[in-house]
């Protein structure tokens, strides 16, 4: 046996590993363009969130049909990857079905399970392609999903279908060869699903079958490695990032907005309330609110990279449902696109954040963020606890406090509150007037 295939395999594995590590560094750096924020409290609840929401797919099941199809792909992905371990070892050692002699009958059972899952993944991917392209489910037809986003989604599904066919083809040809008594191939117990493919290949010569089996094997393993690299450019990144993303979930009540201590200090000074922190100004006063990705928390950027653009948020958004421009999914996609743009610019020695562009203005408009009712529908809907609302509210803070650019009607509301301590223009001394009617009735 030539050692050449082994060398080729090592080389491919090395190249894939190198590219992947570069990509991971790029993503990590981009996520950390966001501001520091510590979210390590309540570790037991964080593990629980990750276990239930990411691993357990809890929130997916708010919609049964896609949840079930997605579950098949998800379980298929996890379980079939066990076989990849054998693939890698076979590739390195130049062996074939290394685990078969060790596991005996269990091996045949395992391969049958893998084949069942391969078929389940195949069927689900076809169903998803139909939902997107034939049924045109509404959330997949929104404007932000045109172009690359739609292509990306379809590519993933098609690649997965081809990879699953490769597994089944490999098993079918492998067993025909084994049946012909080729010593290199082991006769396993009956393989239910791939046996249906065997008649397609029965007429081929042994040489052609060996070639086909090898092509399928190489295609599958190289395909998986290439897919792993592709994922880092794709919305499909959720398969990894869903886990840290849920671990870093917001565990506070959804209605709570994060306090701005820098404002508290100034307010206390204005009102003459002694503060614990020294009154001297901090060395560098940051921006109030968020204009660009570096004003957001790194968790916001992690959210953006974890988003798989399913659009459940947008389909629950009252503003979007009634035809306003706001789409929470677009907010997440914009954050990611801007982080990518800044990251790439930094890598080529470009201006990075100082490129004259910004998230608010060049990607997201005021019209979008002003339309939000802060209802938390998007946050509740997200299967992996992404929080688009947090980003919207931080941008509103920037508009109000740095630009004084809020809509005129809000400015009047601010004025009323400043002068009469109510969003409406009423005299504070009239606050108790409602009680007169109650008193009258009681006297009667």
Partner 1 sequence: MAEMAANSQTPEVLFWVGCAGSFDERYKAVTQAFVKILNKVGVSFAVLGPEEACTGDPARRAGNEFLFQMQAVANIQVMNGYAVKKVVTACPHCFNTIKNEYPALGGNYEVIHHSEFLQQLINEGKVTLQGGGEFKGKKITFHDSCYLGRANGVYDAPREVIKALDVELVEMKRCRTKGLCCGAGGAQMFKEPEAGKKDINIERTEEALATGASTIAVGCPFCLTMMTDGVKNKNREADVQVVDLAELLAKDMGI
Site for partner 1 in 264-303 (CB under 8 A): 264, 266-268, 270-271, 273, 288-289
Task: Answer yes or no whether residue 362 interacts with partner 1 by CB under 8 A.
Answer: no
Q: What is the 3-state secondary structure (H, E, C) of 104-169?
A: CHHHHHHHHHHHHHHHHHHHHHHHHHHHHHCCCCHHHCCHHHCCHHHHHHHHHHHHHHHHHHHHHH
Nearest distance, CB of residue 364 and partner 1, angstroms:
14
Task: Count other C-beta atoms under 10 Å from residue 279's C-beta.
Answer: 9
Nearest distance, CB of residue 228 and partner 1, angstroms:
35
Nearer to partner 1, 96 or 366 (CB): 366
Task: Answer yes or no whether residue 216 interacts with partner 1 by CB under 8 A.
Answer: no
Helix (H, G, I), strand (E, B) or coil at 16: helix
Task: Answer yes or no whether residue 370 interacts with partner 1 by CB under 8 A.
Answer: yes
First to last CA, the chain: 107
Nearest distance, CB of residue 311 and partner 1, angstroms:
15
**DSSP assignment of 328-377:** HHHHHHHHHHHHHHHHHHHHTT--GGGSS--IIIIIB-HHHHHT-----H
How far, in Å, are 38, 99, 337 from residue 299 at the CA level? 9, 42, 16
Q: Looking only at residues 29 through 68 of this chain, which bind partner 1 when binding is defined by CB under 8 A?
A: 62
The Cβ-side half-sphere exposure at 424, using a 13 Å CA radius, reads 3
Which listed residue (4, 102, 437, 444) binds partner 1 by CB under 8 A?
Answer: 437
Which listed residue (2, 40, 203, 435) binds partner 1 by CB under 8 A?
Answer: 435
How far, in Å, are 8, 81, 94, 99 from residue 89 at the CA level? 14, 13, 8, 10
Nearer to partner 1, 318 or 352 (CB): 318
Helical pair 148-179 and 64-93, crossing angle rounded to 10 deg:
50
Which listed residue (263, 269, 281, 354) binds partner 1 by CB under 8 A?
Answer: 263
Nearest distance, CB of residue 433 and partner 1, angstroms:
8
Nearest distance, CB of residue 377 and partner 1, angstroms:
7
Nearer to partner 1, 238 or 397 (CB): 397
Q: Looking only at residues 406 through 425 of this chain, which bind partner 1 when binding is defined by CB under 8 A?
A: 406-407, 409-410, 412-414, 417-418, 421-424
Which listed residue (379, 384, 386, 391) binds partner 1 by CB under 8 A?
Answer: 379
Q: Looking only at residues 319 through 348 of this chain, which bind partner 1 when binding is defined by CB under 8 A?
A: 319, 321-326
Nearer to partner 1, 103 or 260 (CB): 260
385: left (phi over 0), alpha (psi -120 to 50) or beta: left
**With CB under 8 A as the contact rule, which of the stretches 38-46, 89-97, 222-230, 250-258 interacts with partner 1?**
250-258
**With CB under 8 A as the contact rule, which of the stretches 45-53, 84-92, 154-162, 374-382 interacts with partner 1?**
374-382
Q: Looking only at residues 73 through 112 of this chain, which bind partner 1 when binding is defined by CB under 8 A?
A: none
**How many amino acids of this chain bind partner 1 (CB under 8 A)?**
72
d(CA 236, CA 32): 20
Consecutive H or E run containing 389: helix 388-401
């Amino acid at each position: 046996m030539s050692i050449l295939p082994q060398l080729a395999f090592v080389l491919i594995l090395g190249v894939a590993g190198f590219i992947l590590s570069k990509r991971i560094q790029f993503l990590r750096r981009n996520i950390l363009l966001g501001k520091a924020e510590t979210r390590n409290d309540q570790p037991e609840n964080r593990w629980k969130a990750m276990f239930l929401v990411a691993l357990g797919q809890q929130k997916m099941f708010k919609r049964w049909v896609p949840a079930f199809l997605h579950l098949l792909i998800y379980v298929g992905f996890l379980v079939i990857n066990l076989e990849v371990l054998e693939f890698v070892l076979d590739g390195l050692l130049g062996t074939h079905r290394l685990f078969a002699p060790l596991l005996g009958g269990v091996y045949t059972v395992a391969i049958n399970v893998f084949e069942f899952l391969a078929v389940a993944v195949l069927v689900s991917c076809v169903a998803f392609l139909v939902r997107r392209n034939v049924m045109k489910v509404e959330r997949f037809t929104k404007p932000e999903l045109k172009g690359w986003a739609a292509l990306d989604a379809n590519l993933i599904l098609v690649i997965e279908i081809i990879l699953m066919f490769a597994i089944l083809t490999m098993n079918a040809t492998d067993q025909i060869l084994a049946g012909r008594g080729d010593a290199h191939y082991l006769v396993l117990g009956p393989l239910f699903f791939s046996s249906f493919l065997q008649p397609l290949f029965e007429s081929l010569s042994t040489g052609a079958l060996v070639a086909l089996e090898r092509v399928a094997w190489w295609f599958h393993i190289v395909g998986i490695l290439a897919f792993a690299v592709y994922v880092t450019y794709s919305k499909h990144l959720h398969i990894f990032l869903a886990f840290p993303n849920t671990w870093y979930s917001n565990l506070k009540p959804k209605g709570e907005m994060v306090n701005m201590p820098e404002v508290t200090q100034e307010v206390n000074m204005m009102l003459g309330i002694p503060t614990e922190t020294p009154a001297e100004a901090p060395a560098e006063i940051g921006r109030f609110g968020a204009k660009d990705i570096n004003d957001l928390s790194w968790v916001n950027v992690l959210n953006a990279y974890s988003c798989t653009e399913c659009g459940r948020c947008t389909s629950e958004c009252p503003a979007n449902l009634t035809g306003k421009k706001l789409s929470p999914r677009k907010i997440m996609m914009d954050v990611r696109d801007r982080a990518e743009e800044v990251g790439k610019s930094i890598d080529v020695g470009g201006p990075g954040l100082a490129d004259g562009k910004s998230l608010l203005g060049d990607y997201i408009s005021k019209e979008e963020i002003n339309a939000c009712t802060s209802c938390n529908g998007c946050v509740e809907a997200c299967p992996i606890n992404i929080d688009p609302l947090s980003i919207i509210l931080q941008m509103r803070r920037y508009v109000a406090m740095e630009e004084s650019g809020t809509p005129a009607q809000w400015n009047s509301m601010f004025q009323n509150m400043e002068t009469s301590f109510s969003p409406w223009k009423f005299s504070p001394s009239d606050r108790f007037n409602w009680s007169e009617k109650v008193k009258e009735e009681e006297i009667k």
